[in-house]
Structure 1
Amino acid sequence: MRVAVVIVTYNSADVLDGCLRSLAEGARGVELAAVVVADNASADDCLAIAKQATELPMITVQLGRNAGYAAAINAAVDTLDLDELDAVYVINPDCRLVPGSIAPLAESLRTPHRGIAAPYMVNPDGSLQPSLRRTPTVGRAVVEAIIGGDLAGRLGKLGELVTNPREYERPGAFAWATGAAMLLSVPAMREIGPWDESFFLYSEETEYCLRAADLGWLTWYEPASVIEHIGGDSGTNPALAALLIVNKVKLFRRRRGRLAGAVYYLAVLLGEGARALAGRKISKVSFAALLRPSRVMTAS
């Protein structure tokens, strides 16, 4: 299969080189037709590093501003001739591909109705990095507010985040997966359309997978494909954590309407409020952001 890789960068020079060096071996078993690095006006050497990777079929795109993750993906895809491709692998610059890891994902997309394929994601120490999600619901938001997302994800299907390691042992369909690494089939991309740029960062992959499902395209998890993800700052950066929470509520309200959206909002608000009272700094910032979402970062 003919596959292009899309990497969105923003001040990612410290991790980009390692990502690029892993691509040739990671693409063993498929044809690596193009590598597109779409840069959101980084202040570091991202584009220079990309241009030095002359062993790859490299394309670079400079957006000229920090336009967000979805906008950069769309700009990257616009440079590709989809008629010449079977799939596009969207990955973060802090990912490292295991040799031969694209091929199982590509093979899984040969089955009808599978439009998105997600790999088994690990931390740098080799441990599981939970990356799969169930459909967002009011009930799951309430449960996660009461007992926390990690525990809820281990108890049957109570939580949105899948945290039970046993559920990562076999392939299957899930509502959505983290946008750090997902292979998109070209037929699905044509029908789903561009990524939603109204989400500057976070929830754009949720929206994309749920919109795909609306059209009959499955998000398929394939554990035979392994990728290492160093991980972003949302778990430690209060501003990014707040943006994640606000966008999560925004997407739910948009898809489910005002009434369900209001209940979902209250559940998330109460959960973050309880954790803020317990002294969690990130929850304090997220709680404040939920009360005044217009003040949350949407661009920089």
Structure 2
Amino acid sequence: MSMEQNSSLGGFILLGFSDKPQLEIILFVLILVFYILNLVGNMTIILVSSIDPRLHTPMYFFLTNLSFVDLCLTTTVAPQLLLTMRSKEKTMSYIGCVAQLYVAVGLGSTECILLVVMAYDPVCRPLHYAVIMHPQLCLSLAATAWLSGFVISVIQCSLTIQLPMCGHNQLDHICCEVPVLIRLACVDTTFNEAELFVVSVVFLILPVSLILVSYGYIAQAILRIKSASGRHKAFGTCSSHLVVVIIFYGTIIFMYLQPVKSKFKDQGKFVSLFYTVVTPLLNPLIYTLRNKDVKGALRKLVLEKILVSEKL
């Protein structure tokens, strides 16, 4: 019985953290809070970057794309997870699972490429950055990230949902993910595992390697800054960026590059929370809300709204 035929069973049972009732209640509250903050933070970034002309730069163009990806990624996973956590049946429809699978993989792959593009930092070549990253190139790079992310999603997910499940419909996880669905298959999945490994190397290992190389050059550029306070500030900013990158790629690598039959499936549930709920919130906090330009633009926007309301 394939995954498509599993729809006749009423979809899937998303077990999540149901084996730990007390922990499930705590996680429900935390995920809800993180999701609300995620919505507020990323929507604020998108709004401010779109309205304020001073933020119409290549860096904020990619940050707006990243915020939109994070917003959609969390919305793809968190509401369904919260719903199943508070439901006794904990069921998820077949269509819902497939839609979540395609969209989440597409958005996650897109973010992997976007982070590589953003790793080319103006610190290294400040006088050439604006010239190199002209609007046409920015649009092309963003379009490439989105297109490649969803093309690989169609290929990867289509191969996964064709696997025979033999009536297995219990997902011991927090959402529909490729490794989890492969684990349910009742046939030899060597080809799917090999294909997943290749895709993971291309979209995870290669990007994070390029990012680390880029940050190596950034570190060299920072060391050439004569001002001690300038070096400290630059290192503080770059280190916080690097921490988010390591958390994002590290958790996904743990989930997608470990053997499908791994014994660490319980840890996989918690790990998935990081790249679906936690890092989408950290990105606006680290990349922009700490930035004085964004805070200035946000302050200006709030003041303008207050003045308009007072005039009315």
Task: Using structure 1 for the length normalisation, give the TM-score.
Answer: 0.27
Q: Tell me: higher relative CO, structure 1 or 2? Use CA pairs within 8 A at least 6 residues apart.
A: 2
More strand by share: 1
Bigger helix fraction: 2
